[in-house]
Amino acid sequence: MDLELLVTVGHCAGITDQNGTAFYHLPWGGTFDYRLIGPMSLQSLRPIDKGFIMRTNTNARATPFIRNEFGRFFMISGVQELPKGTVVCKSGYATEVNCGFILEIFGNLIHADGTSHDRVVVIQEMVCSHGDSGGPVFKYDEFTSETYLIGMVFSALIENGTNYCFIHPVDAILFPGMEVMTIYNTPNISHSSD
């Protein structure tokens, strides 16, 4: 049996209960329904801000879908690394779906406070806010209707009125042997976005 882990940022504290840090499902626009996903089993803040949640609740199901603002879903077809200038979008709890372009790709980024992160992609004009951390960043190909996972939001900055989102790419988040759930490698998944 394969171990199923969900990914978020390591700095997400989750909700503490008697068993420690536990994570619950909370869709945007939704109400907190106490649907447990499971505990964070592995966490790091640097050099990559990532945390792995072990799905222990059999009633909480992981799917290869990214929610958009119209109640439909983007179906994850695969993973891509993209060059500077590419338009990408994110789905975040606070600011929902919006897009920007890849401004820069850094091997290491030192922040103004002296902390640093490895493997950082900077997205300009993408609105990110407190609560969007852990949100998926993706590229939708309007010609093929394919959606490719690019990475995960971990920080944001507004400077001189310009929005910047900081993300880690997928290959920096996953450990060797891990793979992203897609519509092509997940059993019993319909390929319809309605």
Query: pTM to 2 decimals?
Result: 0.90
| 20-25 and 73-79 beta bridge pairing | unpaired
Provide the pLDDT for residue 21: 74
CA 179, distance to chain mean position in Å, is: 14
Residue-level pLDDT at 7: 93
**Rg (alpha carbons) of the chain, rounded to whole number:** 16
Q: How far apart are CA 91 and CA 36, in angstroms?
A: 21
Structural contact between residues 167 and 154, judged by C-beta atoms closer than 8 angstroms: yes
Q: Supply the pLDDT for residue 52.
A: 93
- pLDDT of amino acid 58: 83
The angle at the Cα of 117, spanning 152 to 114, to the nearest 5 degrees, equals 135
- Between 14 and 132, the more confident residue is 132
Q: Which residues of 80-104 are buried (b: 16+ CB within 10 A; e: fewer)?
A: bebeeeeebbbbbbebbbbbbebbe
Encoding tokens for residue 24? 């619950």
Per-residue pLDDT, averaged over 143-155, amounts to: 95
Phi and psi at residue 173, to the nearest 5°: -85, -45
What average pLDDT does the chain have? Answer: 87
Check whether 16 has a pLDDT greater than 80.
no
| E strand residue ranges, 83-178 | 87-92, 96-110, 116-124, 136-141, 146-159, 162-169
Rounded to an integer, the average pLDDT of 71-91 is: 93
Of 111 and 46, which is predicted with more confidence? Answer: 46
C-alpha to C-alpha distances, 193 to 77, 88, 99, 181, nearest whole angstrom: 12, 19, 20, 16
pLDDT at position 105, please? 95
End-to-end CA distance of the chain: 30
Domains and CATH numbers, the chain: 5-54 (no CATH), 65-173 (2.40.10.10)
Q: If pLDDT is split at 50, 70 and 90, which confidence band does 132 have?
A: very high
So what's the pLDDT on residue 13?
Answer: 62
Task: Give tens-digit pLDDT for 29-77.
Answer: 666 666 788 888 888 989 999 999 988 888 888 889 997 766 678 999 9
